[in-house]
Amino acid sequence: MMEVAGPWTEVFETSERPESPGADEALLGSSTLTLAPLVSKSPSVRRSQPILITPNRVKDSSSSSSSVPSIPNPFPELCSPSKSPVLNSSYPPQLGDKHLIKVYGEDNHSRSLWVSSGASAREVCHMLVQTAHCSDQENWALLELYPSLGLERCLEDHEVVLEVKGTWSVKGDTRFMFCKNYAKYEFFRKPTLFFPESMISDSADVSKGLMSSELIQNLLKSGTCPEIQGFLHIKESSRKAWKKVYFFLRRSGLYSSTKGSSKEPRHLQYVADLDDLNVYSVVNSRKLYGAPTDFTFCIKPSKNPIRVQDLKILCAENEQTRTCWTSAFRLFKYGKQLQCNYQLSKSAPRSLEGSNLTDGKSKSEASLVAMDFSGKAGGRVIQNPMEAESAGREEGQAWRRREALRCSLPNLTSAARPSSIHKTQPWFHGGVSRKEAQRLIEKQGLVDGMFLIRESQQHAQCFVLSLCYKLKTKHYLVIPCEDGGRKYFTMDDGLTLFIDLLQLVEFHQINKGILPVCLKHPCVCVAL
């Protein structure tokens, strides 16, 4: 039997306790151990009841800190940190109007950061550039992804990130992704590539004979705008079948013709409002939606949580047609705001050092000048364009002789270099498939000179250079060969030899060779 007489009193005995008052002396001779209380007249505490902790306690109160130890809150989402009845030392307090968002990199690792309620996508990208120690300030984008639906879109620079996040479903798998995007404003630089003449309507007198360069200028004005027109495949919501329909995109919205390509008002059917929709690219559309081609995009309401029945999935015949439609949606919806975003992107510093580059040129291209080192007084800059072009050709012809010397240096044997040096380069993507390579290049921007190198899946010990040119991804086989007992790589049947893939890339960053354009933008995998 055990009896608690006070907070520190315990009585152990082997026999029944006497009821008479004089029995206390008899206990001295029995097997009874008595512990007197350390503090006299201390109030008793009922262990079966919880101790009440007032929510408005003082932070530095010695009484509360001594009686209740600080423990982490295991359920921070059930109560706010300021009103939590449990001391919470692991959950950071919310600072003013700051909100916590999670952004993923292309390696599926995420980074959490606090952003203000009015932070734009451009500001969030600059924060990530600083925290991730990226090499340049521009050409980054924040993507909105719906992985289960295969939808993705690039947020406009002026869009408020928390407002976009507020349209997400709580149970969905929607996320933000931080990645490169070189083609965000490419239609301002090369409008004829993005808007073919066949897709510009000439029914109105104001648009007859309109050139693609003039189209964008008209789109940015508040007056009458020409139409974008063409056939698209659309997936009917009630059935799995796809139907080919003629569409018209106007400032007032998207319309479809119920009778061929007729523009008569009685044949036009209203499809969507431009102010209340967002345009998404569809990934893996053949498998997810049974699309007839891979050039699929989707329009959905922008202010409501996504529902499958609200999606309007459209499919184009080729990449140029899809890019034209998606670019026109953006221009019709935002107009002058996109032009302001484009001007801001040009005026911002292009690197951490703040160097200003000319429009339309990459960082590596704008930093290269033709030099002549033949004189004794040192190098000089070649000002004559014809002389500079001739020097470039001579440089390309002398490349192999100079690199033969580099190959013969100690610890740089030809047997070790070709097998390993390319694996550390950001443009090398291992054994990705042809379709995956096209998707990576498409996500980071279909601009001329975007490239990556991957291992060939059909030819052993060969590699493939995937290069974007005129909105299309071209693939060039890199074949290993031997010459004079050394191992080389070539793309032109041995006419030009390279000791490793690094030399091949460096050469084609200056000389086109057999390629239609020089290598400019490596398709890199961004890690946060």
Q: How far apart are CA 283 and CA 151, in angstroms?
A: 6
Output the CA angle 419-424-425, nearest 5 degrees: 105
Section 266-294 average pLDDT: 91
Q: How far apart are CA 300 and CA 429, in angstroms?
A: 33
Most confidently predicted of 13-22, 39-48, 93-102, 146-155: 146-155
Q: How far apart are CA 222 and CA 336, in angstroms?
A: 9
The residues, any chain, with a CB within 8 Å of residue 161's CB and separated by 6 or more, are 101, 115, 119, 120, 121, 124, 142, 155, 176
Section 22-35 average pLDDT: 44
* Ordered DSSP codes for 19-85: -STTHHHHGGGSS-EE---SSTTPPP--TTSPPP--TT--TT-HHHHHHS-----S-GGGS-TTS-S
Q: How far apart are CA 255 and CA 245, in angstroms?
A: 10
Q: How far apart are CA 102 and CA 31, in angstroms?
A: 67
More confident of the two residues 189 and 44: 189
234-244 pLDDT, tens digit each: 987 667 789 99
Residue 10 has pLDDT above 90, yes or no: no
- At 524 the pLDDT is 84
Q: Is the pTM of this model over 0.95?
A: no
More confident of the two residues 73 and 525: 525
- At 138 the pLDDT is 72
Q: How far apart are CA 26 and CA 423, in angstroms?
A: 89
Element (H, E) at 278: strand 277-282
DSSP 499: S
- At 98 the pLDDT is 87
Section 491-498 average pLDDT: 88
Burial of 276 (0-12, 13-18, 19+ CB in 10 A): middle
Q: How far apart are CA 442 and CA 318, in angstroms?
A: 13
- At 221 the pLDDT is 58
388-415 pLDDT, tens digit each: 767 766 665 565 555 555 555 444 444 4
- At 331 the pLDDT is 87
Local confidence band at 377 (pLDDT 50, 70, 90 cut-offs): low
Residue 52 has pLDDT above 80, yes or no: no
- At 297 the pLDDT is 95
Provide the β-strand partners of residue 10: 4
Element (H, E) at 467: strand 463-469
- At 152 the pLDDT is 93
Lookup: tokens for 504: 């091949």
Beta strands in 303-397 (DSSP E): 312-315, 371-372, 380-381
Can you state the percent helix, strand and coil of the chain, rounding each to 5?
A: 30, 25, 50
Provide the β-strand partners of residue 168: none
The full set of domains in the chain, from first to last, is 1-48 (no CATH), 50-85 (no CATH), 99-180 (3.10.20.90), 186-344 (2.30.29.30), 405-522 (3.30.505.10)
Q: Report the chain's mean pLDDT, rounded to a whole number.
A: 75
Residue 268 has pLDDT above 60, yes or no: yes
- At 39 the pLDDT is 45
Burial of 440 (0-12, 13-18, 19+ CB in 10 A): buried
- At 69 the pLDDT is 55
Q: How far apart are CA 476 and CA 95, in angstroms?
A: 53
Percent of the chain residues past pLDDT 90, beyond the cut: 29
Residue 359 has pLDDT above 50, yes or no: no
Greatest CA span in the chain, whole angstroms?
124
Local confidence band at 378 (pLDDT 50, 70, 90 cut-offs): low
Q: Say how far residue 498 (Cα) sits from the centre of its chain.
A: 34
Give the CB-side neighbour count of residue 322, counting CA atoms within 13 A. 24
80-133 pLDDT, tens digit each: 444 444 443 334 444 457 899 999 988 888 899 999 999 999 999 999 988 877
Rg (CA), the chain: 35
Amino acid at 488: Y
Section 60-84 average pLDDT: 50
Measured N-to-C along each axis, helices 319-334 and 336-347 cross at an angle, to the nearest 10 degrees, of 100
What count of other Cβ atoms lies within 10 Å of the Cβ of residue 191? 18
Residue 503 has pLDDT above 60, yes or no: yes
The residues, any chain, with a CB within 8 Å of residue 508's CB and separated by 6 or more, are 515, 518, 519
